[in-house]
Structure 1
Amino acid sequence: MRVFVTGASGWIGSAVVPELLAAGHDVVGLARSDESAADVRATGAEVQRGSLDDLVSLRAGAEASDAVIHLAFKHDFSDFAGAGRTERAAIETFGDVLAGSGRPFLFASGVAMITPGRVVTERDASQAGGPDAPRGGAEPLALAFAERGIRPVSLRFSPTVHGEGDHGFIATIVGVARAKGVSGYVGDGSNRWPAVHRSDAARMVTLALEKAPAGAVVHGVGEEGIPTRDIAEAIGQQLGVPVASVAPDAAAEHFGWIGAFFGLDIPASSALTQELLGWTPTGPTLLADLGSGAYTR
C-alpha cells in the first residue's frame, strides 16, 4: 500500500516509517520543516510538505494514498483546547477524503483517563466526545467513520512510549528530579503507569494497518502498569539522588504541569490487541531503559 503518515519524523512516527517500509509498503511522510523533511527522506520515504494546520496538504496526501496513519498532534499544553480544535479539523478532513473508499485510517489516541483506577481494555469506549473534549473528541469522531465506508482504527498508546532519545513524560520527570535533587513520586507511589517500548509500538501500528478491522481499538501497551514509586526509585538510582514521597496537594508545585499526570492510576491491558494482531511486545521494559541510563546520560 501507499501510506500517508502524519508525524512521520516524530518520536513514534520515525519508528513506524521504517517498519512500514520493511513490510513492503510505500510511505509518504508529512513534513513541516526542512529538518523534518530530511529526516523522512533519510528513512527512504517520500516527503510531502505541510502541517496539521494546512488542511489542503492533508487532503492531498490522503487523496493520493491507499491508507492514512495519523500520528501527529500539537503537544501544546499552553493551548490544549486549540490543539484539540486542530486535531478535530484534521480528522474531519481525512474523513471527507476517505469516505466510501474502504481505505484504512489509523489514528493516534491514548489509554490514559478512559477508566482511571482500573485496568482499561480495548472494549472500554472513550467518553471524550465533542469538539471541546481532549484531542477534540477525535476517537469517537473517527471510529464513527466506519459508517461512512472507511476502515478506522484507534491506536491507543501508553502515556510512556519509551526508548533512547525519548523526550516525553519520563524525560520530563527525570529533568524534575535532576533540578530538584530528589526523585519524587506522588503519595505512596502505588499508582500505575502503562508503558511500551517504541520498537514494539511501531510493530503494532504496522500490524494494525494490515490486520485490524473497521472500528477496532488497539492498545500499544507492553506493561500494564508500573508503580510510580518504582519509576522514581530507578531514576534516583541513576541520578544518585534520594527518593521521596510528594504529597498530592504539593505535586503541582514540585513537578510542575506534569504533577497532575504523574499522580494518576491508569493501568491498561493489551491482551485483546495481542490476540487480534498476533503481536507480542519484546522490547526492553521501562525500568530496564531507566536502568541502562537511556534517560540520564
Structure 2
Amino acid sequence: MTIKKVFITGANGYIGGTIAHLLLKKGYEVTGLVRQPELAAELEALGMRAVTGSIDDAGLVSREAQMADAVINTATVLDPFFIDTVIDALKNTGKTFIHTTGSSILGDKALGEKSDFIYNEDVPQIPHLARTLWVALNDHVLLASKEGIRSMVIAPTMVYGKGLGLRKETIQLPLLHRLAHEKGMGVQVENGENIWSNIHIEDLGDFYVKMLENGIAGGLYYAENGEASLKDIAKEISRKMGKGEETFSIPIDEAVSFFGNADMVHFGLASNSRCTSLKARQTLGWQPKYNSILDYVYEV
C-alpha cells in the first residue's frame, strides 16, 4: 500500500526527531506524539502535526495508528502494553509498524574486554537475562507480520552526530564526556578494549526512511556503518581536551557508582556490540555517508 501518513512516537527525541525531519523533507505527512504540551507548538513549527499524550493512552495510540499508513516507534524499547496496542490497531490492514530496539541485545558481559564475534541478522541472538524481554518483544513484533501487518524491527548501534530534531544529543557519548570531565581526560571502563558498532544519526534517519519504503515484513535489521573500541573513543576525547592519547581506566564498580545504573554501564559502556548492516545495503538501497565516530567526538 502507498504510504503517505506516518505516526511517530518519540518525535521530539534524538532519533524520532531526525526521522521526522527527513520524512517531512521527502513530502510525507508526519504526526508526532509528545508528552509535554509545550513541545507541541515546536513540533508543529517544524511542519508536523503534533499530538499531546502518552503511549499508555491506548485509545489515543489506536486512533492515531489507524489514521496513519505507518507507525514508527522510537519512544520505548520495552513496553508490551504499547506494542500490543499498536498491533491490535493494525491487524489485517497491511499497514507498516517499525519498532526500535537497541544493539545492546547483542551485548556481552565483557567487563571491557574485546570480542571478535560480529553478528548479522541470520545469527540467532542469545541475549543475557537483562535483554531477554527486549528480544521477546522484538520477536512479538516480527510475528505480527503473519497477522496482516508489515511489521519490522530496527536495532541501531551506538549513535553519534547532531540530531536534526528538537533533541540534538545522543546517549552514550555524553556519558563518556561526563566521566572525562570528572577525571580530566578521556575515560574507558576497565581496559576499554570492548568494541561497539556505530552509526551517524543522519545515516540512521535515512535507514528508517529506506526501511519504510523498501523493508521486508517480518525483517530485523541492524543499523551500523563502522565500529570503534571504547578506549579509542576515550583517546579521541583526550585529544580534544589537549591531553594527547592519555586515558584513564575506571573500574566497573566505580562506573556503576558514578552513573547509578549498572545495566547501562555493563551493557552500554563495558560490553561488545558488533554487527553488520550488509543486509540493509543489499536489500534497502541504503548508502550511508559517515563511517567514523572518532571524527565526531566533540570537545568536553
Q: What range is the shorter-chain TM-score in?
A: 0.7 to 0.9
Contact 1:129 1:137 in 2 (8 A): no
Deviation at 1:249, TM superposition (A): 5.3
Deviation at 1:238, TM superposition (A): 1.7
- Asked if 1:192 corresponds to 2:195, the answer is yes
Aligned residue among 228, 237, 259 for 2:239 = 237
Deviation at 1:181, TM superposition (A): 2.3
Q: Deviations over 1:68-100 (max 9, x none)?
A: 1111128xxxxxxxxx3xx11111001101001
- 1:99 aligns with 91
User: Residues of 1 paired with 2:36 and 2:142: CA distance?
Assistant: 30
SS at 1:194 equivalent: strand
Contact 1:30 1:50 in 2 (8 A): yes
- 2:296 aligns with 289
- Asked if 1:40 corresponds to 2:43, the answer is yes
- 1:5 aligns with 8
Residue ranges of structure 1 left out of the alignment (5+ in a row): 75-83
Normalising by the residue count of structure 1, what TM-score does the alignment of the two structures yield? 0.86
Q: How does 1:200-211 map to 2 (within 5 A)?
A: 200-211=203-214
Q: How does 1:1-150 map to 2 (within 5 A)?
A: 1-73=4-76, 84=78, 87-114=79-106, 116=108, 117=115, 118-126=117-125, 133-135=132-134, 137-150=136-149
Work out the number of aligned pairs and report it. 281
User: Residues of 2 paired with 1:161 and 1:100: CA distance?
Assistant: 37
Q: Deviations over 1:48-85 (max 9, x none)?
A: 221122222111110111111111128xxxxxxxxx3x
Deviation at 1:113, TM superposition (A): 3.1
Worse-matched range after superposition: 241-250 or 139-148? 241-250
Q: Deviations over 1:219-267 (max 9, x none)?
A: 22121x2011110011112224541223455543466534323111111
User: Residues of 2 paired with 1:220 and 1:161: CA distance?
Assistant: 12
- 1:222 aligns with 225
Contact 2:215 2:284 in 1 (8 A): yes
CA RMSD of aligned residues (A): 2.5
CA distance 1:252–1:217, shift in 2 (3 Å): same
Contact 1:176 1:255 in 2 (8 A): no
Contact 2:15 2:74 in 1 (8 A): yes
Deviation at 1:268, TM superposition (A): 1.4
Normalising by the residue count of structure 2, what TM-score does the alignment of the two structures yield? 0.85
- 2:278 aligns with 271
- Asked if 1:246 corresponds to 2:250, the answer is yes
Contact 1:112 1:159 in 2 (8 A): no
Worse-matched range after superposition: 263-272 or 175-184? 175-184
Contact 1:218 1:273 in 2 (8 A): yes
- 1:81 aligns with none
Deviation at 1:284, TM superposition (A): 6.1
Residue ranges of structure 2 left out of the alignment (5+ in a row): 109-114
Deviation at 1:17, TM superposition (A): 0.7
- 1:262 aligns with 269
- 2:112 aligns with none
- 1:153 aligns with 152
- Asked if 1:168 corresponds to 2:160, the answer is no
Contact 2:156 2:224 in 1 (8 A): yes
CA distance 1:249–1:34, shift in 2 (3 Å): closer
SS at 1:12 equivalent: helix
User: Residues of 2 paired with 1:180 and 1:38: CA distance?
Assistant: 40
Letter of the structure 2 residue corresponding to residue 121 of structure 1:
N
User: Residues of 2 paired with 1:286 and 1:110: CA distance?
Assistant: 18
SS at 1:39 equivalent: helix
User: Residues of 2 paired with 1:285 and 1:163: CA distance?
Assistant: 14
Contact 2:190 2:250 in 1 (8 A): yes
Deviation at 1:11, TM superposition (A): 0.3
Deviation at 1:122, TM superposition (A): 1.9
Which structure would you say has the larger RCO, counting Cα contacts within 8 Å and 6 or more residues apart?
2
User: Residues of 2 paired with 1:45 and 1:129: CA distance?
Assistant: 39
SS at 2:101 equivalent: strand
